[in-house]
Amino acid sequence: MFKRLDASSTSVRHVQIWLDGEPHSVPDTLTVAAAVLQLRGWQGYRRHVDGSPRAPLCMMGACQECLITIDGRANRQGCLEPVVEGMRIERQGGGSHEA
């Protein structure tokens, strides 16, 4: 479906983000949704209230399936927000994220 650009290229910089309190280095070319999908996979993005997984669908701002907390602000569209150095991201949704 998607193919990641070569992250080892010298033109790709990395930034440190915090996901659920854990530091990660990711390419600065990613959106928040792409970074979380890369780090946690689609089943680890967010949960329905019954605990079943849900994940970003359109990656272009239409479906609202990528809602996530960014720097303390809930319900941000992760597919529209590029990662930036020091960004703090928290997954949201019902149930546990640990399967």
User: Contact positions toward ligand FES, by CB under 6 A?
Assistant: 33, 56-59, 61-66, 77, 79
Q: How far is CA 69 from CA 13, 56, 92, in A?
A: 24, 14, 7
Task: Considering the complex, state which of residue 28 and residue 65 has its C-beta at the smaller distance from ligand FES.
Answer: 65
Least spacing, CB of residue 54 vs ligand FES, in Å: 11
Three-state SS letters, 43-82:
HHCEECCCCCEECCCCCCCCCCCCEEEECCEEEEEHHHCE
- State the minimum distance, in angstroms, from the CB of residue 65 to ligand FES: 5
Taking the complex as a whole, how short is the minimal distance between the CB of residue 15 and ligand FES, in angstroms? Answer: 20
Find the shortest distance in angstroms from Cβ 6 to ligand FES: 24
Taking the least distance from each CB to ligand FES, the nearer of 59 and 83 is: 59
Residue 41: enclosing H or E segment and its boundaries? none
Specify the 3-state DSSP secondary structure of 40: helix
Classify 94 as helix, strand or coil: coil
Minimum CB distance to ligand FES smaller for 13 or for 31: 31
